[in-house]
Structure 1
Amino acid sequence: MTQTLGILGGMGPVATTAFMARVQALTPAKRDEDHIRMLVDLNPHVPNRHTAPEAAGKTLGEMAARLREAGAEVLAMPCNTAHSHAGAIRAAGLPFIDMIAATVEAVAKTGVTRVGVLATPGGEALYAEALARAGLEMVRLEGADREAFMTAVFAVKGGDDGAGPRGEMRRLAETLVQAGAGAVIAGCTEVPLLLRAEEVSAPLVDSAEVLAAVCVEMCR
């Protein structure tokens, strides 16, 4: 018997719909009834996770409670940065799949010891803690490359997934590899909208793909 998945989404909207498609694609289904029921709060009006963290946490807690009341049995959120508010989401009383922890577990299985992270400053901080707990060293972008990363992410959010931001994300991933990363985490859900695994010269661990796989495992 499957469990109903509640998704806290909208951060951003395109990344959320792409995540839903991944859950569907990873589900071993031969008919409609084999798929997972998803209740989705695609809320692009969650306060800014960087500049208004307290308001963001309050909103995410309210979203989790509404999903529970609507019938969700397991919660997931395809936004790495917003996992700093995991406590507010867990207060709804449902199992919450930790995207950061699941991704670090997946990258640890590759056997590498130095891991590059493509993430926002907030997401990067969460990965720094999780990787350290796992005994892994993080390789991060430096200087102007950090700003370039955010520019590419906001380009996608604005509807531009063309050659410019795609080329920049490839360059940034390769910068991490050249700095010694044995694998690279796509630690922002906009990254895989611009970057494919075959475009990186080291294993690319996609946090959205990892989360979707765990959702399928838990809900089925």
Structure 2
Amino acid sequence: MSLVLGVLGGMGPAATLDFLTKLQALTPAERDQDHIRTIVDINPQAPDRNDPLNKPGPVLAEMAGALRGAGADVLAIACNTAHAYADMIVRASGLPLIDMIGAASAAARDTGAARAGVLGTREALKLYREYLAAQGMGIVTLPPERQEVFMDLIYRIKRGDLSSGVRSEMAALAADLAAGGAEAIIAGCTEVPLAYQHGSGRLPFIDAGEALARRCVSVCLGLEPVPAI
């Protein structure tokens, strides 16, 4: 019997659906009953995580508590930036959290890279800097003017723009990180893989959502320990 996974989603909706697709694809299953029971709160009304003044923490905590009440045994957050509120989410729910930032950072380490370039929001970059340091790795980030371009792209993707122009600019930003010394690229925002996929550049590419989905499968099927609270 696998653990029931609760997913805090909707940040944004398309990225959550992308995560769930990867979760399903990575689950070793021969029939419906082999898949992981997953309870998902797709809540696009959660305040924008990119502005702390919006105070998204209480809404995320309420979502987590409701997921526990619905039967979840363990949680995942389908948003990198929302991990800034991980402690509040765990306290509110009393459930262990499978950490996306940790999963992606470990995947970057496993490539053998010494420095990872991260395409992420400012809040997510703070988390990645800490987690990568714990893996003995350095971080490469975009210069301020290119970070602004990145944020504009993220909001365009959230509006449904997956045009060739958006894809080309995202690839150019990844190339900027490579030029800055990155030896691997982390898609540290769940919208990035919607416009930039494996094989788009010459460096190893870590999709944080895919890394999280892989860990969720392992934890829920008992292949690795449940994270400590």
Q: Structure 2-normalised TM-score?
A: 0.94
Matching of residue 76 in structure 1 with residue 61 in structure 2: no
Aligned to 1:5: 5
2:81 maps to 1:44:
no
**Structure 2 matches for 1:99-178, cutoff 5 A?**
99-178=100-179
Structure 1 CA distance for aligned equivalents of residues 140 and 62 of structure 2: 35
Q: 1:47·1:53 contact (CA, 8 Å) conserved in 2? A: no
Structure 1 residue 54 displacement after superposition: 6.5
Shift of 1:49: 1.3
Deviation at 1:52, TM superposition (A): 3.7
Tell me the equivalent position of 2:190: 189
Number of residue pairs the alignment of both structures matches: 220
Kept in 1, the 8 Å contact 2:50–2:121? The answer is no
Deviation at 1:67, TM superposition (A): 0.2
CA RMSD of aligned residues (A): 1.0
Q: 1:87 corresponds to which residue?
A: 87
Pairwise CA distance, 1:53:
5.2
Contact 2:114 2:137 in 1 (8 A): yes
Once the two structures are overlaid, the 10-residue window that deviates more, 129-138 or 81-90, is 129-138
SS at match of 1:184: strand
Q: Deviations over 1:133-168 (max 9, x none)?
A: 222111110032111111111111001111111010
Whole-Å separation in 2 of the counterparts to 1:55 and 1:141: 26
Q: Identify unmatched segments of 5+ residues in structure 2.
A: 222-229
CA distance in 2, matches of 1:5, 1:58: 21
Runs of 4 or more, structure 1, over 4 Å off, are none
What is the CA distance between 1:50 and its match in structure 2?
Answer: 2.4
The answer to whether the 8 Å contact 1:145/1:172 transfers is yes
**Secondary structure, counterpart of 1:6 in structure 2:** strand
Contact 2:81 / 2:123 at 8 angstroms: preserved in 1? yes
- Give deviations 1:72-99, integer Å, cap 9, x for gaps: 0110001000100001111111110111
- In the alignment, the residues of structure 1 paired with residue 127 and residue 182 of structure 2 have an alpha-carbon distance, to the nearest angstrom, of 18
Unaligned runs of 5+ in 1: none
Deviation digits for residues 161-194 of structure 1 (CA, Å, limit 9, x no counterpart): 1111101000000111111110010000000000
The C-alpha deviation readout for 1:26-66, integer Å capped at 9, x for no partner, is: 01111111111110000001112122457211111110000
TM-score (norm 1): 0.97
Asked if the contact 2:48–2:54 (Cα under 8 Å) also holds between the matched residues in 1, the reply is: no
Matched, 1:28 2:58: no
Identity %: 49
